[in-house]
Structure 1
Amino acid sequence: MRILILTHRVPFPQNGGYPIVVGNTIKGLINHGHEVSLISLNVKKHTDKVLEPDELLRKIKYKEYDIDTRISWIEFVSNIFTKNSYNIDKYYDAGFEKLLVQNLKDNEYDIIQLEGLFVVPYLAAIRKSSKTRIVYRAHNIEHQVWRRLAQQKGDPIKKWYLNLLARRVKTYELELLNKFDGIAVFTGQDKASMLSFGTKTPMRVLPIGVDLAMYIPAPAKTECPSLFFLGSLDWLPNREGIEWFMNNFHKDIVDGELKVKFYVAGNNIPEEFDEYEVPGKVFIQGEVDDALEFINSKSIMIVPLLSGGGMRVKIVEGMAMQKCIISTTIGAEGINFKHGESILIANNADEFYNAVLKCVRDEEYCRTIGENARKLMEEQHDINKVTESLVDFYRSII
């Protein structure tokens, strides 16, 4: 099959949730003998560094288009008085649309896959230029992310504004859901939500797939006990979650009963997070050169998400690396876990405290949770199995 994938950011390198999902999808399709083309918006804020060419680029047809998604204060304020959602509209560019339309005239595809809501503004142009079946992969139900963020805010102005965004995004999402030929979601929860919205489009639940050959646990390299968080803090639910954790447990780690070193790593960590750092206790490391090596070196992963949606890539990666993970229910959405067997679920401060304390004090318990997590990934998240289901879904709508 010939498949065109559209993304709202360049998925290279694979150092975050979105790039990992897109990269693994491409790898799986190529390994199964399909021809993949990729066209990406190149958002300037993601390209500050000079990056090594990704070897995956040699195996696909690839084009990118530079776009600046920054908006002025005047544009931001004026948008409040419109019905549009600026956080979606900012990804529309007439030049990119022209490039895309020309590509569709020059090539024939069996499937066009839109990776997330932020490339959907080009749907109308695609429909005018091609009769190819279009699959929308919903990385989140986006308005639910904003609504959950609003629910966590005490500031009435921030709550009002986030609820405004949520309402606008919801209107946009619901108007589009029956305009695709197929929808792929990561979780059963997201499928149920879409069905409740009246979606008639064929839908398939396809979990995040990983190339398990890349995830090689190395217990001998692991610091036990050690606590860590890994995630991009330019994604608001991640930042909200780690701030909640710090506010609740920083003192317990520095001076209390949680006798464990805590490491925070990821992209775009704000400078003010340096204030959390305490020598020998709390380490704010920022972006790491090798995320898998970092995961391998630590023993207990926390995912304190209070909002968000979809399936968290970092949990899948942590489980594949045989880590003991403590997560909220929201953080673990879509994963077929058993609490106390393959993951630990904690939804409030007391539950998180008790889970961390148990793991810090019982290394064998921690190791068993991690081993069960790896088995779960092998059974349900192997990229080859997920790709077979994805291709079967393609064929069912052609």
Structure 2
Amino acid sequence: MKHLLFLAHKVPHPPDKGERVRAHHQLLMLSRRFSVTLAALARGEEEERAALELGDKCRVIVERLRLPMLGAAAALATGRSATEGYFASRRLLRRILAAHEARAFDVLFAYCSSVLPLAAHLPDVPAVMDFVDVDSEKWLNFGGNCRGPARLLYNIEGRRVRKLEKRAIAHCRRVFCVSAGEAANSPHVGIHALGNGVDVEYFAPRSDPIDHHDIVFTGTMDYLPNRQAVCWFARNVWPRLKSRFADLTFHVVGRNPARDVQVLSHIDGIVMTGTVDDVRPYIARASVAVAPMRLGRGVQNKILEAMAMAKPVVATRAALESLEIAAGHEALCADEPAQWIDLIAGLLDHPEQCAGIGMRARRRVEESFSWSARLEPLMEACMLAAGDAPHGCSMPCGEKRA
């Protein structure tokens, strides 16, 4: 087996939040054809233990982040992005170089542009990278929606990360991002789409009793796009829905709710769960799942997971644009408050419509969103970079921005 270095800025396990889900399935798939060494950064003892749980799939090199905020500040002060300083680790680099000396890596897979400074120390190892999101655009988007010092810092970070991304594209044999829409909206040429999947066996329809007057949102609740989405929904949609359906509840399911999210629990009918062991019971009980995202263009795992559990999803155009699904048939699209209210009320008034959209959504993810099918272009790219081309393939698949 060829030797692959899987370089990640975060431990890709357990697959219980968006940024870990994709990396986790990539690691599992690549371990089928490569001898994999995982090199990752951990944020504490819990993440270090989680990394070691992957020992049956790969060799694990894990180092704890040390003074990341100080590193970020130092990087900003010297003209680099905060991202580069935040994820810098001399200890991890030394262990990577020692592993390479002991047994040379044939190919390097880098998860996110933030690990490029580490990857650059192995210039002779062919590299493949997954941006996931084009982070420069995300930071600039955040800057456009903030004021004061935050706006300035986000804009500086966006411009500097854009330079980092350009270096990554020049350095790597192939660069992926999460969707064709993400690639098309970026300023870079040469990025290929690699869509997300969903574990259709884990997120399967359940027989739990459905509360026909329950709405659910799932996501990490200290992440700005999720915070903004829930706060916008609570201010602009929830009051009129609640006045129409007196027993309606809105469950916000996710870890680390920020202060602006926590205060929503004082609103009648809104329930903040905080961290839960398993989101599936909350999705199963709900009649409608919502994704009112205003920021971010990446594939929303929350949408695929709800669809896999045969739930009707109402989402913004921004949240749906990276998914190849039929809006109005397999999910519903709303942007303005009146649209949200009308669509959700229609679903709550007509449970049979909920069931119909949910079943079509389930069929769609079964047909098109398995992880093995979605990640095949990554496997092909890594095999080609390692000099082990798959049969009949001269170039990895994937949708490229012209």
| TM-score, L = length of structure 2 | 0.86
* Aligned counterpart for 2:137 among listed residues 130, 139, 144: 144
Aligned AA for 1:18?
A: E
Offset at residue 319 of structure 1 (A) = 1.7
* Aligned counterpart for 2:119 among listed residues 123, 130, 135: 123
Query: Is the 2:332–2:343 Cα contact (8 Å) retained in structure 1?
Result: yes
Offset at residue 70 of structure 1 (A) = 4.2
> Which residue pairs with 1:18 in the alignment?
19
Offset at residue 56 of structure 1 (A) = 4.2
Q: Aligned partners of 1:107 and 1:352: how far apart in 2?
A: 56
Aligned AA for 2:36?
A: V
Corresponding residue SS for 1:126:
coil
Query: Is the 1:135–1:182 Cα contact (8 Å) retained in structure 2?
Result: yes
Offset at residue 33 of structure 1 (A) = 4.7
Q: Aligned partners of 1:333 and 1:233: how far apart in 2?
A: 22
Offset at residue 382 of structure 1 (A) = 0.8
1:23-65 deviations in Å (ceiling 9; x for gaps): 12223334x4543321110023xx5689678864322221210
Q: Aligned partners of 1:54 and 1:383: how far apart in 2?
A: 23
Offset at residue 322 of structure 1 (A) = 1.6
Q: Does 1:174 align with 2:142?
A: no
> Which residue pairs with 1:372 in the alignment?
360
> Which residue pairs with 1:351 in the alignment?
339
Aligned AA for 1:10?
A: V
> Which residue pairs with 2:40 in the alignment?
40
* Aligned counterpart for 1:58 among listed residues 56, 59, 63: 56
Aligned AA for 1:161?
A: L
Q: Map 1:183-222; keep pairs closer than 5 Å.
A: 183-193=175-185, 196-199=187-190, 203-222=191-210
1:309/1:82 Cα in 2 relative to 1: closer, same or farther (>3 Å)?
farther
* Paired positions, count: 385
> Which residue pairs with 2:298 in the alignment?
310
Q: Aligned partners of 1:89 and 1:81: how far apart in 2?
A: 10
Offset at residue 150 of structure 1 (A) = 2.2
Q: Aligned partners of 2:65 and 2:237: how far apart in 1?
A: 40
Offset at residue 370 of structure 1 (A) = 1.6
Query: Is the 2:9–2:111 Cα contact (8 Å) retained in structure 1?
Result: yes
> Which residue pairs with 2:395 in the alignment?
none
Q: Aligned partners of 1:105 and 1:383: how far apart in 2?
A: 33
Q: Aligned partners of 1:59 and 1:123: how far apart in 2?
A: 22
Q: Does 1:158 align with 2:158?
A: no
Q: Aligned partners of 2:268 and 2:48: how far apart in 1?
A: 33
Higher mean C-alpha deviation, range 254-263 or range 13-22: 254-263
Query: Is the 1:21–1:313 Cα contact (8 Å) retained in structure 2?
Result: no
* Aligned counterpart for 1:97 among listed residues 93, 97, 104: 93
Query: Is the 1:11–1:23 Cα contact (8 Å) retained in structure 2?
Result: yes
1:347-393 deviations in Å (ceiling 9; x for gaps): 22222222222222221112222211122212221122224332223
Q: Aligned partners of 2:188 and 2:27: how far apart in 1?
A: 30
Aligned AA for 2:21?
A: I
1:256/1:331 Cα in 2 relative to 1: closer, same or farther (>3 Å)?
same
Q: Does 1:325 align with 2:317?
A: no
Query: Is the 1:2–1:34 Cα contact (8 Å) retained in structure 2?
Result: yes
Query: Is the 1:27–1:56 Cα contact (8 Å) retained in structure 2?
Result: no
Identity of aligned residues (%): 20
Aligned AA for 1:309?
A: R
Corresponding residue SS for 2:84:
helix
1:57-99 deviations in Å (ceiling 9; x for gaps): 3222212101135425x974x7665532213321111111111
1:251/1:279 Cα in 2 relative to 1: closer, same or farther (>3 Å)?
closer
Q: Please, which runs of 5 or more residues in structure 2 have no aligned partner?
A: 388-402
Q: Aligned partners of 1:367 and 1:272: how far apart in 2?
A: 34
1:61/1:222 Cα in 2 relative to 1: closer, same or farther (>3 Å)?
farther
Query: Is the 1:288–1:294 Cα contact (8 Å) retained in structure 2?
Result: no
1:232/1:69 Cα in 2 relative to 1: closer, same or farther (>3 Å)?
farther
> Which residue pairs with 1:295 in the alignment?
283
Aligned AA for 1:13?
A: P
Query: Is the 1:325–1:344 Cα contact (8 Å) retained in structure 2?
Result: yes
Query: Is the 1:148–1:306 Cα contact (8 Å) retained in structure 2?
Result: no
Offset at residue 227 of structure 1 (A) = 0.5
Corresponding residue SS for 2:42:
strand
Aligned AA for 1:367?
A: A
Corresponding residue SS for 2:237:
helix
